[in-house]
Each structure stands twice: as structure tokens, then as C-alpha cells.
Structure 1
Amino acid sequence: MLRKLSICLLATTSLAAPALADTYKVGISAEPYPPFYTPDASGNWSGWEIDFMQAVCERIEAECIVTPLAWEGIIPALNTGKIDMIIGSMSITPARAEQIAFSDKYYDTPTGLLIAKGTDFDATPEGISGAIVGAQSGAVQQAYANKHYAATASDIRIYQTLDEELQDLAAGRLDAVVGDSLAMEPFINSDIGQACCDYKGAVPADPEVLGYGVGVGMRQDDTALLEKVNAAIAEIRADGTYAEISKDYFSFDVYGE
């Protein structure tokens, strides 16, 4: 009798216990990308995109582990199963969509051109004639510079990080940097940025290269996860969570048009 009672209690306890949450490794670039993600001295990451990731993962009832990787290898890491999602400011482009699946857009900021003070370059292909231009390796801005500026610029120099580009621009080793306008904003507004450089505004549009906003990257066969992530994005947009997260980082609607 006692044995049967113990078995019944064990079965009841097992049924009542909640199922373990799914665990996903979420890829970001190993290099800091403020205000989206930045590590502290202990290697803990914070920033707008980390907050966004946590909100999405709560809605899909999953534990998500931030996994920093070299940007150029992040799509191969996803497709080989080393990570399960990319929430790292990856623009939705046709070329990338051939390799991975994207969620709905979760933010969108323009690509802009920052030039050295005392020069008269602008963001058009003709206006960049003779300039030494910096762009980040593997970013949409590299593809944009190669497509629109290579024929007229003096040189297109590729960097591993935006920070390295901006340092070389300030040091006079570059004439211009093409980059995400929001990511460049802290530098533009800094004392160094104000002293060395002028922001020339957004580059001429090219959605085929620059994409259609930023989305969560997933493997193409992870259709169930894609549906859950899209539902989570819609929910946090609708219930005010998105705005609550964003107000600590931005004075404008980072979601874009």
C-alpha cells in the first residue's frame, strides 16, 4: 500500500512540475557595439539589444545565453548549430536571406557618412571621389562602399570594428567612414568627434544592399522558432515593453518607419 502510494505521489509531482524552458545560444559580435551591446570587465553584456533579447526570450519561455563571435563567422556558426539565433544588429538583406531566415524587423536606422573636417566629401558616389573610405568587414556598409564608392574613391579600407575606423578617421588616416548612423552617434557627439569630423547625413538609399531593417537571424528550417519570435516581437511592440526598453537608450523611435 505504501509503495503504491509513493508511486502515485511521484507521478503526481512529475505531472505538476513545469517543463524545463528551451535554451538557445544567441550570437552577437564579439566586439562592443554601443548602445546595442557592450561587455563589462567581467564579460557580462548589457545594452539595448541585450534587453530586447531578454524580453523576446521571456515571451518564448526560453533561457537565452549571449554568445559572442567574430562577425564574419556568425552566419556559418548559426547554420552549423554553434548558435541558435543572431540578435546582433544584423540587417535583413536579400543576400543574407538566401542563407538564413529572418524575423520581422525589430529596429531600423540609416547608414550615414562621417568625414574629416576640412574636406568637402559627401555621401554620393560623385561626392566621395578621391577619398580614402573606411567600412566594417562583413557589414552591409562594406557591401555598400564596394558597390557605390569603389569606382570613385581613392581606396576602400576594411576594418574589423567600427571603433577602429573612427580612430583612424580622427587620426587622419581616413577621409571618411560609412557606418550605421546610430552606432556612430556617441563618437559624433564626443569632444574628439566634434573636433575632427563632420556628419554628412544618410547615404543614398539601396535596400538591396543596406537591407530592410534589422531582424533576428535563425536557421531556415527553424520555422516553429521563427513563428514564436515574430509573435514575441509583435507582443512587446504592442504592450509597451519595446518603448519601455528603448526610452533608456534613445530619444527617438529606433523602430524606424
Structure 2
Amino acid sequence: MKRLTFASVLLMAAMPCAVMAGSPQVIKFGVDPTFPPFESKAPDGSIVGFDVELGKAICADLHAKCEWVEQSFDGMIPALKARKFDAVLSAMVATPVRREQIDFTNRLYAGPSRLVARAGVNLQPTAESLRGKRIGVQQGTAQEAFARQEWAPGGANIVTYQNQDQVYEDLANGRLDAAFQPVVQADLGFLKLPHGKGFAFVGTEVKDRRVSGDGVAIGIRKDDHVLASQINQAIANIRKSGEYDRIDRKYFDFDIYGE
């Protein structure tokens, strides 16, 4: 058997403790970069956003390298199961339906949802109010599943899109009566931008667990208990160290973590 040299022993001693304990050296995150401010593409093609910075902080705590794998949101869970990447970090709400297929880490932040429509429009998130209306949702989201279960049977026309930008484009062009999506994403990704002028939140927040679940978390394969445990510890560490709050303040003027 080959003997260890003194230099190799010194090198092993200098390695970070987390890596020596079995932490992953590379974590591949699946991400749909069409969902600002959580994840989007910068002009140089790099993937940026709140989720991305949280991912980098988690990787740094684990002494690991982050890699980002682009994937449409509606194919995210099948791609995770097919081992195209290690985890989903793409503003995914941990709903009961999704928990039947995959596991989730502890919560990253809260995830309430709400309708957006022309300012002054009187719409409520009920089947009666939305009867005959065209409601835009992104494919594969908890919002789509909820809308199909609750509003479509009452006569609402649920229109799906591959990404959220397409939803807002048709809303602005008058092809939709309303759009249904997470509150924070709608506020910062549409309402506070020039093309969101004249639009507003309408009706009340939808607090049904089928939409809000247990908040937004990182999706993990059911057999990957070690990675889930490592990421949960990293989330706790960046919350305790203040790194989470630093990233939060960079993007939001409120505490997105929620109660």
C-alpha cells in the first residue's frame, strides 16, 4: 500500500472540516432564470438573484462550489428525479402535492400568492368572481394547480405559460384579465417596473396550503438524506451569522423570511 508523505498529511490537515466530514464539493442546483428578483439572467449571461445568492452562501458554508443548471419550471421535479442536478433552488413552494414526489429542506422564506390585474378591477380569488375570466399562470407552479382545482370548475379560463415573463406580457397587452403568482415576485418583477404601470394587486392573499405550502424551500430527492441535512445546517448557519439578513436587505425592504 502506498505510504502517505508528510506533505500529503499536512495538505489533508489543512482541508476544511466540513469537506472532511463528507460535505459535497459541488452542488448542482436546478434553476429557472425567468423569475426575477429570485433568479434571472444578467446581460453577461450569468444567473443572478436572491435565490442564487442564498445558494452561494449555503455552498460557502459547506465549503462547496455551486453550479447552476437551467431547467424550465414545469420540468424541474422530473429533472431532479433523473439526477440532472442535485437540488432545486428556484422559488419552489413546498406543497403537500410536491412532497409526495420529493423532499424539501427547511424553509428559505414565506410564499404567499395573489392576483394582479388592472388597477381598479374588482376581482376576488374565488370561482364566482373569476367566472369567464382569463387567468394567467406559469406552467408547473402551485398557482396553476390551485387555479385548476378551485377556479376552472367554476368557469374560469386558466391560461398557462412556459415562464412568468410571458404571463406579464399578455396581461399588459390585455389578453388576460389577471395573473396569479407569488406576491413578492409580482411586486418586484412586474408592479414596480415600467411595464407594470396601471396594474395592482386585487382581492385578498390566497393562504391555502396548496399554494403557500410550508413556504419556499430547496427540493431534494427523497433518498438524499445526507444532502438535505447538510443544507439544513447551512441554512441555520447563515441565518445565525447574519449572512441571510445581509442578502435579504440587498433585495427587499422587508423581512422575506416571514413568521
TM-score computed with the length of structure 2 as normaliser: 0.89
Q: Give the letter for the 1:170 counterpart.
A: A
Confirm whether residue 192 of structure 1 aligns to residue 195 of structure 2. yes
Matches within 5 A, 1:19-168: 22-29=25-32, 31-117=33-119, 119-168=121-170
- Choose the corresponding residue for 2:10, options 6, 13, 16: 16
Cα separation, 2, equivalents of 1:76 and 1:191: 36
Q: Give the letter for the 2:6 counterpart.
A: T
- Choose the corresponding residue for 1:216, options 179, 203, 218: 218
Q: Answer whether contact 1:137 1:159 (CA < 8 A) is retained.
A: yes
Q: CA deviation at 1:117?
A: 4.1
Cα separation, 2, equivalents of 1:37 and 1:98: 25
Q: Comparing 50-59 with 186-195, which one deviates more in the overlay?
A: 186-195
Cα separation, 2, equivalents of 1:255 and 1:209: 17
Identity of aligned residues (%): 33
Q: CA deviation at 1:201?
A: 4.7
Cα separation, 1, equivalents of 2:152 and 2:205: 15
Q: Give the letter for the 1:122 counterpart.
A: Q
Q: Give the letter for the 1:125 counterpart.
A: A
Q: CA deviation at 1:210?
A: 3.4
Cα separation, 1, equivalents of 2:178 and 2:184: 16
Calculate the aligned-residue CA RMSD, in Å. Answer: 1.9
Q: Give the letter for the 1:22 counterpart.
A: Q
Cα separation, 1, equivalents of 2:210 and 2:170: 29
Q: CA deviation at 1:98?
A: 1.5
Cα separation, 1, equivalents of 2:163 and 2:214: 22
Cα separation, 2, equivalents of 1:198 and 1:153: 23
Q: Answer whether contact 2:28 2:69 (CA < 8 A) is retained.
A: yes
Pairs aligned (count): 248
Q: Comparing 88-97 with 31-40, which one deviates more in the overlay?
A: 31-40
Q: Give the letter for the 2:49 counterpart.
A: G
Q: Answer whether contact 1:144 1:210 (CA < 8 A) is retained.
A: no
SS in 1 for 2:228: helix
Q: Comparing 186-195 with 32-41, which one deviates more in the overlay?
A: 186-195
Q: Rate the CA distance shift 1:154–1:95 in 2: closer, same or farther, 3 A.
A: closer
Q: Rate the CA distance shift 1:222–1:157 in 2: closer, same or farther, 3 A.
A: same
Q: Give the letter for the 1:250 counterpart.
A: F
Cα separation, 2, equivalents of 1:240 and 1:210: 25
Q: CA deviation at 1:54?
A: 0.6
Runs of 4+ in 1 over 6 A off after TM superposition: none
Q: Which runs of 5+ in 1 are unaligned?
A: 1-6
SS in 1 for 2:36: coil
Cα separation, 1, equivalents of 2:99 and 2:86: 16
Deviations 1:188-238 (A, max 9, x none): 12343222x231154332103431101111111111111111111111111
Cα separation, 1, equivalents of 2:125 and 2:255: 24
SS in 2 for 1:126: coil
Q: CA deviation at 1:118?
A: 5.5
Cα separation, 2, equivalents of 1:153 and 1:56: 44
Q: Comparing 184-193 with 157-166, which one deviates more in the overlay?
A: 184-193
SS in 1 for 2:197: helix
Q: Rate the CA distance shift 1:181–1:64 in 2: closer, same or farther, 3 A.
A: same
Cα separation, 2, equivalents of 1:34 and 1:202: 23
Q: Rate the CA distance shift 1:221–1:23 in 2: closer, same or farther, 3 A.
A: same
Q: Answer whether contact 1:110 1:180 (CA < 8 A) is retained.
A: yes
Q: Give the letter for the 2:10 counterpart.
A: A
